[in-house]
């Protein structure tokens, strides 16, 4: 199993959710986060005062998938979240050791 | 041409200065006179509108502009400063501002509201027209309370609460009260009628012996020149107790110099003497909630109708013109600020629109009862551009941290408005550009007319008003801040400032 973490632009969330849903991925966790990558934030102007906003608002999504589905899921996120502009985000993939469904106690892919 | 008109035509500019005016003092109740109920009803509403401008209008406007950790401190400062000044106004403020004293300050005659009852009346701008003294006192209270509250924006996010209260008490006493007295205190329109029919009024204004003397001289005056001379002598006695700037002819309809320049300059001095906020220029200090600021701006606009139109003290055609001018000045400045941002930044921001609206309201305040609607648009537009320049360029160039731009919007906007009032008051222009001119009340009956206009004379008078407000407020603010510094201290310490004033000064959080 793989654990996929993607940091994306907030307004791309709905498209990413649809793309993952189309692959049959049922579970997804979404968190509103702030941060920066190479983009190093941006500047905002308030009555002429320029503020460097180092931490840009992003959405972090986390999905656990069967290993066989991982490549397609990564591709789906990458296509759905892409605008081609700086700040489109990152996708991180981790090996997942165990998954447990709390209600039934099922483990492994059955718990996904 | 009647004899009366001849007197007036000889009075000229010198006399116009005597009659230039804004708000009116309380007068002795004349026999058989009673309040105008329509005017009274309007003034009660206008007073409530100005309260709404401060609490919660100004508080929310400022509250949205600070960071999350300082919202309550700003709301708190505005609410408590309002309350403090309301009480001080009743105890001694009203008396020092609106009683006879000298040209610079009144007396303690009405301290603790002594002598003010439900039966005493205040003069308006029409002869023999009165409102209850209590409504005049309450209306003026709201001005006295909002002016110090405006300064809060300049030292936001760093000043000690105790220092805020001490500073406000000193500044109100030595800067606001003298300015209000100098600009607004006058004998009232009734006193400028010298006739045997109005003998009681004449006696009340200049004393029994002088009244008999003047009336005898008037009766003895052989020709119009002699009558004009008697009237002029009489006017100089009546006007002797007026405020110094009032007699200089400085026009300030609703408080451009008393309220806005006064508060704006105090804000600038506070910003300079307190120093910059910790982290300015390095950390993001963006407004935490511009929606709150939008609500506050709307309340300011709404309340400003009471502030400006209420300053006419009557409900008549001029009051309606003031309302129209207030809307148009605000709207034109909003458009101007947006346009300015569009050209210089590439986009128009909401904060720009809100700032422009307030700048327009400030600039139209001294002018609103003196100018035509087209002039109001011009004043608003000019103020919008100049205030944008002040907060973007001037502030950056001079390097002071006026956190919420009290000086850039109220100080600069007030000065622009005060000077343009002198330009656009001109009654000789046509159509929507025609100014109201300055009323000349002096006559042998209850009539009045519009005095002649002189550009250089009026601009000089306006400059007197501006310079006096700037100097007085700057000096008083600097001394008041020094007193605060050696007694309670000016600023919270750095850890407290970093933590935010909400928690460190008031022990609570706005959002949790």
B375-418 confidence digits (pLDDT tens): 999 999 999 999 999 999 999 999 999 999 999 999 999 999 99
Of B284, B391, B396, the CB nearest to A52: B284
* Mean pLDDT on A92-111: 95
Neighboring chain B residues of A36 at a CB cutoff of 8 Å: none
Of B351, B393, B408, the CB nearest to A46: B351
A-chain residue closest to B338, CA distance: A47
A-chain residue closest to B393, CA distance: A48
Q: How far is B349 from chain A (nearest CA, A)?
A: 8
A-chain residue closest to B346, CA distance: A45
Residue B105, pLDDT above cutoff 80 = yes
Cβ-based interface (< 8 Å): residues of B facing A: 284-287, 345, 349, 351-352, 355, 388, 391-393, 395-396, 405, 408
Q: How far is A111 from chain B (nearest CA, A)?
A: 36
Only one residue has tokens 């924006």, namely B153
Q: How does strand A29-35 pair with strand A56-65? A: antiparallel
pLDDT at res. B6:
36
B389: three-class secondary structure by DSSP? helix
A-chain residue closest to B279, CA distance: A51
pLDDT band, very low/low/confident/very high, at A2 (cuts 50, 70, 90): very high
CB B319 within 8 A of CB B39: no
pLDDT at res. B446:
84
pLDDT band, very low/low/confident/very high, at B1 (cuts 50, 70, 90): very low
Q: How does strand B121-123 pair with strand A56-65? A: unpaired
B-chain residue closest to A41, CA distance: B284
pLDDT in tens, A57-76: 999 999 999 999 999 999 99
Mutate to test the interface with B, among A46, A47, A57 (most CBs of B within 10 A): A47
| Interface contact A47-B286, CB threshold 8 A | no
Neighboring chain B residues of A44 at a CB cutoff of 8 Å: 284, 286
Of A44, A48, A53, the CB nearest to B391: A48
Only one residue has tokens 């007073």, namely B47
ipTM of the complex: 0.71
Neighboring chain A residues of B395 at a CB cutoff of 8 Å: 48
Q: Give the DSSP per-residue string, B76-110.
A: HHHHHHHHHHHHHIIIIIHHHHSS-S-SS---STT
Quick check: A54 contacting B, CB < 8 Å?
yes
Of A47, A52, A53, the CB nearest to B355: A47
CB-based contacts of B336, cutoff 8 Å, min separation 6: B356, B360, B380, B381, B382, B383, B384, B385, B388
Q: How far is A39 from chain B (nearest CA, A)?
A: 17
Q: How does strand A2-8 pair with strand A56-65? A: antiparallel
Q: How far is A37 from chain B (nearest CA, A)?
A: 18
Q: Give the DSSP per-residue string, B253-271.
A: SS-IIIIIIHHHHHHHHHH
* Mean pLDDT on B7-20: 37
A-chain residue closest to B399, CA distance: A49
* Mean pLDDT on B460-486: 97
Neighbours of A105 (CB within 10 A): 8
pLDDT in tens, B42-88: 999 999 999 999 999 999 999 999 999 999 999 999 999 999 999 99
Neighboring chain B residues of A47 at a CB cutoff of 8 Å: 351-352, 355, 391-392, 405, 408
pLDDT at res. A9:
95
Q: How far apart are CA B255 and CA B421, in angstroms?
A: 12
H or E segment at B184? Answer: helix B177-184
pLDDT band, very low/low/confident/very high, at B4 (cuts 50, 70, 90): very low
CB-based contacts of B303, cutoff 8 Å, min separation 6: B49, B50, B51, B52, B53, B54, B57
pLDDT band, very low/low/confident/very high, at A101 (cuts 50, 70, 90): very high
Q: How far is A52 from chain B (nearest CA, A)?
A: 6
Quick check: A46 contacting B, CB < 8 Å?
yes
pLDDT band, very low/low/confident/very high, at B132 (cuts 50, 70, 90): very high
Q: How far apart are CA B428 and CA B313, in angstroms?
A: 25
Q: What is the 3-state secondary structure (H, E, C) of B457-511?
A: HHHHHHHHHHHHHHHHHHHHHHHHHHHHHHHCCCECCHHHHHHCHHHHHHCCCCC
Q: How far is B362 from chain A (nearest CA, A)?
A: 17
Mutate to test the interface with A, among B61, B64, B284, B288 (most CBs of A within 10 A): B284
Beta bridge partners of B130: B35, B123
pLDDT in tens, B449-463: 899 999 999 999 999
Q: How far is A51 from chain B (nearest CA, A)?
A: 5
pLDDT band, very low/low/confident/very high, at B32 (cuts 50, 70, 90): low
- Helices of type H across B240-372: 244-248, 262-274, 290-310, 317-345, 350-364
pLDDT at res. B19:
38
Quick check: A98 contacting B, CB < 8 Å?
no
Q: How far apart are CA B304 and CA B95, in angstroms?
A: 25
Burial class (CB within 10 angstroms; exposed 0-12, middle 13-18, buried 19+) of A62 = middle
| Interface contact A51-B286, CB threshold 8 A | yes
Q: What single DSSP character describes residue B159?
A: B
Chains A–B, number of C-beta pairs less than 8 Å apart? 29
Average pLDDT, chain B: 92
| Interface contact B287-A46, CB threshold 8 A | yes
A-chain residue closest to B408, CA distance: A47
Quick check: A11 contacting B, CB < 8 Å?
no
| Interface contact B286-A46, CB threshold 8 A | yes
Neighboring chain B residues of A45 at a CB cutoff of 8 Å: 345, 349
């Amino acid at each position: 199993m793989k654990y996929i973490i993607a940091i994306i632009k907030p307004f791309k969330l709905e498209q990413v959710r649809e793309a993952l849903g189309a692959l049959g991925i049922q579970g997804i966790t979404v968190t509103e986060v702030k941060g920066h990558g190479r983009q190093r934030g941006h500047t905002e102007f308030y009555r002429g005062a320029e503020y460097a906003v180092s931490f840009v608002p992003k959405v972090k999504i986390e999905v656990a998938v069967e290993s066989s589905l991982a490549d397609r899921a990564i591709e789906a996120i990458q296509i759905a979240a892409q605008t081609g502009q700086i700040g489109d985000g990152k996708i991180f993939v981790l090996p997942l050791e165990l998954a447990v469904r709390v209600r039934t106690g099922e483990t492994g892919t059955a718990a996904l | 041409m009647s004899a009366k008109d001849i007197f007036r035509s000889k009075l000229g500019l010198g006399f116009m200065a005597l009659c230039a005016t804004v708000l009116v003092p309380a007068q002795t109740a004349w026999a058989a006179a009673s309040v105008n109920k329509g005017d009274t009803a309007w003034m009660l509403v206008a007073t409530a509108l100005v309260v709404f401008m401060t609490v919660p209008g100004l508080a929310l406007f400022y509250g949205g502009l600070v960071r999350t950790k300082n919202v309550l401190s700003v709301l708190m400062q505005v609410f408590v400063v309002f309350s403090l000044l309301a009480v001080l106004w009743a105890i001694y403020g009203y008396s020092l501002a609106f009683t006879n004293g000298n040209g610079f300050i009144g007396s303690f005659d009405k301290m603790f509201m002594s002598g003010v009852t439900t039966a005493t009346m205040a003069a308006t701008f029409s002869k023999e027209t009165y409102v209850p003294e209590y409504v005049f006192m309450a209306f003026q209270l709201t001005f006295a309370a909002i002016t110090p509250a405006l300064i809060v924006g300049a030292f936001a996010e760093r000043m000690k609460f105790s220092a805020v209260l001490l500073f406000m008490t000193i500044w109100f006493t030595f800067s606001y009260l003298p300015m209000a007295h100098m600009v607004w205190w006058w004998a009232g329109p009734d006193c400028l009628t010298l006739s045997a029919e109005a003998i009681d009024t004449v006696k009340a204004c200049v004393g029994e012996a002088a009244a008999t003397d003047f009336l005898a001289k008037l009766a003895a005056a052989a020709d119009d020149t002699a009558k004009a001379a008697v009237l002029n002598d009489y006017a100089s006695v009546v006007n002797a107790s007026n405020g110094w700037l009032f007699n200089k002819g400085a026009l300030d309809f609703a408080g451009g110099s008393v309220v806005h320049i006064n508060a704006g300059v105090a804000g600038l001095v506070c910003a300079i003497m307190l120093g910059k906020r910790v982290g300015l220029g390095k950390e993001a200090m963006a407004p935490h909630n511009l929606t709150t600021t939008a609500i506050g701006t709307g309340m300011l606009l709404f309340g400003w109708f009471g502030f400006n139109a209420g300053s006419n003290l009557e409900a008549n055609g001029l009051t309606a013109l003031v309302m129209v001018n207030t809307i148009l000045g605000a709207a034109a400045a909003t458009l101007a600020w947006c346009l300015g941002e569009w050209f210089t930044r590439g986009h128009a921001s909401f904060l720009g629109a809100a700032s422009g609206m307030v700048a327009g309201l400030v600039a139209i305040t001294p002018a609103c009862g003196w100018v035509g609607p087209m002039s109001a648009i011009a004043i608003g537009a000019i103020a919008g551009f100049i205030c944008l320049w002040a907060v973007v360029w001037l502030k950056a160039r001079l390097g002071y941290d006026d956190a919420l731009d009290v000086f850039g919007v109220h100080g600069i906007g007030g000065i622009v408005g005060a000077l343009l009032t002198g330009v656009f008051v001109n009654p000789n222009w046509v159509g929507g550009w025609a100014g109201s001119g300055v009323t000349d009340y002096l006559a042998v009956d209850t009539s009045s007319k519009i005095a002649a206009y002189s550009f250089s004379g009026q601009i000089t008078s306006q400059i007197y008003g501006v310079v006096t407000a700037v100097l007085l407020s700057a000096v008083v603010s600097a001394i008041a801040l020094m007193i605060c510094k050696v007694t309670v201290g000016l600023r919270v310490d750095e850890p407290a400032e970093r933590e935010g004033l909400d928690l460190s000064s008031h022990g609570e959080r706005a959002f949790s």
